[in-house]
Structure 1
C-alpha cells in the first residue's frame, strides 16, 4: 500500500513543512537576554507529525479509491444526522427549546469575558448567514462583504457623534444604507461571474476602507471615532456589565430572527430563483427569471444584515476605525460559509462558532494556536470539502394513488 515513492514524497513534504515552520517553531529570540534559543526538538516533532499525517491521508485515499461504488439508494440514505434529527418536528422543538434555555442561562454561569466573546461569535453567525445569501444561495463570490459591515458601523458612529441619534434609531438606517450600497455594487457587476466578480467586489471593499482612512473631515481618518453610545434600555444608561448582558440578549434575538428570515427565504420563490442562478445562470434566464433583479436582491439583502451587524459592532466596541474593516474580515466571514457548508443554515452557525471561538480557546497553545487553527482548516478542506454540514438538495416526487 505504501510504495517507496510514497514514502519518499512523505519525507520531502515533512522536510518542506519543517522549513516553512522553522522561524516559528525552532527559533526563539529573547530580547532581554539578547540570545537566540534553538529548539531543534520542535523541528523533529513537526517533521514526524507531518510524515504520520501524510501516511494517514494516503491510507484514507487508498481506502476511498478501492471501496465498491455506492448504490443510489445508499447515497440517498447518507444524509447528515443533524438534518435527520431536525426533520422530526418533536425532536426539532426539543432541540431548539434546549438550546434556547442554555442560551438564556449562559451569561449567569460564565464570566463577563466569556459572554463578550459569545457576543462576537453571534455577530459572526449573523454575518455568515448574510453572506450565505450571496455566496451560498445565489452563488455570487463576494470578497468585499466587509464594506457593508463598515457602512453600518460608520452610519451609527457618525449619526451618534454629530446628531446624537441612539442605537435603536440608527439600526434600521444603518441596515438600509448598507442595502443601498449593496445595490450600488450590484449594478456594475451584473454581467460578471466567478473570479472577475470576486476581484471587483474585493476592489469595492478596499475602496470603502481607503475612503474612510483618507477622508479625515468625514470619518476622522485613521484616528477613528470614539465615545460611541452603547444601546440603552428604555432610556436608562446601563453599566458595563449590564450593557454586555443586554447586548448578548439583543444578539440572541437577532440570530433567531435572522435564522427565521433566511429559512423562509430559502423556501420562497426568490430563494429558489437564487438557487437556480447558482446552478446555471443561462438556464435560469431561459426559465424566465429576471437575472438582474435576482442578483440585486441577493446583494442588497446580504448587505442589509452586514449593515445591522456593523451598527451593533460600533455600539459594542464604542470605538471604530478603518483598521477594523480590512480584507481579513471578509476572508473570515467567507471561511465561515465555506467551512460550515455553503447554503446550509445549520452549517454556517456551527462554522461561525468554531472559527470564532476556537482561536480564543486555543490561547493555551500561545504562539502555536494560529498554526493549529490553520492545520484544522486544511484538514477540513481535505476530508470534508463540502463543509461540516452540507446542504441537502430537496427532491420532489409524485406519488401514484
Structure 2
C-alpha cells in the first residue's frame, strides 16, 4: 500500500513512476525511439516516403476522430483544413528559405524553421476551423457536413486562382526538410492529445454530446463551446498534417486536397470505429498500404505503364465496397468506441481451469 509520505512527496505512484515525470515520460520515451527509426531508414527513400504518408494519414484520421467520433458531429471537409496548413506552411518555409541561424548547425536550423512553418500552418488551420465551426456547430444534423464540404471546395477554388499559391500548377520549391522523426513526433503528439482528451472531463462532455446533445445541454454542458474547441483542435492537427505533407512531396497542388481526400479520411475513421483512437490508427495504416498492394498486384498481373491511373480508378470503389460490407456486418466499425488493448484480450483464447 502506498504510504502517505510517498504520495505527498510525489515520488510514489501505482506505476512506480514519480508523479513529476508522468506527464513528460511519454516524450522521453518517444524521442529516442524516433531518432533510432530515423537512423534505420536513412538509406531507404521509398520506405521513408511511405512511412511519412502513413504518418500524415494517421494524424488526419486521429484528429478527425475527435470531431466525428468523440463529439458525434459529421465533418467531410478535413482536406480543406489540410490544404490551409499545407499552403501556409509552404509559403512560410519559402519566406524563410534564405534565412540562416548561424549559431546552430544547418540540420538543426532547418528543423527549427520547419517547426515554425508547421505551427504557422496549424494555427491558420485552427483559425479557419474556429471561423467555420463557430456559426455552423450551433446547428444539428447534416448541416455541418454541408458547411465543411463547402469550405473544402472554397479553399480548393481559392488556391487554384491565387498567384501566390501557384494557381492550378501548384506550389513548388518548398524545402524538403521533413523527416521520419518529425512526422513521428507529431503522430505521437496527436495520439497523446486525443487520449488525454478522451480521459478528461472535457472528453466526458464530448461523449455526452455524442450520445444525446439535448440531454447534455439540459445538464448544463455548453455544447456549442465544447464542439467548437474540439473542431479547432482537430483543424490544428489537420493543418500540421498538411504542413508535413508539403515538406516531403516535390509539389503541392489543389488536386491533392479534393473531396476525395476528405472522404478517404472519413473512411479511415468509420472503418476503425467512431471514437476509437487506435482504430483510426489501424485503419489509416491499412488504407495507406492498400494502394501499394494494388500497385504490386497490377504490376504482377497487368500492364505496368499506367499503374497510378489504374490504382486511382479502383481505389474508391474498393473503399465503397469495404464501407458497405462494414455497415452490414459491423456498423460500429472494427473497434467501436473501444481501444485496441480493450479488444485484443477478447480474441485471445483463455486456458480452461484444471488444464
TM-score for both structures, normalised by structure 2:
0.73
Equivalent residue, structure 1, for 2:328: 382
Q: Give the 3-state SS of the residue equivalent to 2:172 in structure 1.
A: coil
Q: 1:107 to 1:387 in 2, by over 3 A?
A: farther
Q: Give the 3-state SS of the residue equivalent to 1:332 in structure 2.
A: helix
Equivalent residue, structure 2, for 1:57: none
Rg bigger for which structure?
1
Equivalent residue, structure 1, for 2:257: 325
Aligned-pair CA distance for 1:300: 0.3
Is the CA contact (8 Å cut-off) linking 2:267 and 2:323 kept in structure 1? no
Alignment equivalent of 2:62, drawn from 123, 126, 129 = 129
Aligned-pair CA distance for 1:160: 2.4
What is the CA–CA distance in structure 1 between the aligned matches of 2:141 and 2:268, rounded to whole Å? 19
Is the CA contact (8 Å cut-off) linking 1:159 and 1:170 kept in structure 2? yes
Equivalent residue, structure 2, for 1:49: none
What is the CA–CA distance in structure 2 between the aligned matches of 1:107 and 1:361, rounded to whole Å? 26
Q: 1:225 to 1:277 in 2, by over 3 A?
A: same
Could you report, residue by residue, the CA deviation over 1:67-111 in whole angstroms, capped at 9, with x for unpaired residues?
A: xxxxxxxxxxxxxxxxxxxxxx89xxxxxx9xx979955973794
What is the CA–CA distance in structure 2 between the aligned matches of 1:184 and 1:152, rounded to whole Å? 15
Alignment equivalent of 1:275, drawn from 185, 207, 215 = 207
Is the CA contact (8 Å cut-off) linking 1:107 and 1:115 kept in structure 2? no
Aligned-pair CA distance for 1:114: 2.6
Aligned-pair CA distance for 1:318: 3.8
Superposition pairs of residues 182-221 of structure 1, within 5 angstroms: 182-216=129-163, 218-221=164-167
Aligned pair count reads 285
Aligned-pair CA distance for 1:190: 2.6
Could you report, residue by residue, the CA deviation over 1:172-229 in whole angstroms, capped at 9, with x for unpaired residues?
A: 121111111100001220332222221111011101111111122x322112111101
Is 1:120 aligned with 2:53?
yes
What residue ranges of structure 1 are gaps of 5+ in the alignment?
Answer: 1-88, 91-96, 232-242, 395-401
What residue ranges of structure 2 are gaps of 5+ in the alignment?
Answer: 1-14, 17-28, 100-112, 299-309, 343-355
What is the CA–CA distance in structure 2 between the aligned matches of 1:256 and 1:128, rounded to whole Å? 13
Q: After alignment, is 306-315 or 114-123 more displaced?
A: 114-123
Higher RCO, 1 vs 2 (CA within 8 Å, ≥6 residues apart) = 2
Superposition pairs of residues 130-279 of structure 1, within 5 angstroms: 130-164=63-97, 166-216=113-163, 218-231=164-177, 247-279=179-211
What is the CA–CA distance in structure 2 between the aligned matches of 1:304 and 1:103, rounded to whole Å? 25
Is the CA contact (8 Å cut-off) linking 2:90 and 2:117 kept in structure 1? no
Could you report, residue by residue, the CA deviation over 1:284-319 in whole angstroms, capped at 9, with x for unpaired residues?
A: 111111122111101100001001111111111142
TM-score for both structures, normalised by structure 1:
0.65
Q: Give the 3-state SS of the residue equivalent to 1:316 in structure 2.
A: coil
Equivalent residue, structure 1, for 2:296: 364
Q: Give the 3-state SS of the residue equivalent to 1:334 in structure 2.
A: helix
RMSD between superposed Cα atoms in Å: 2.8
Equivalent residue, structure 1, for 2:302: none
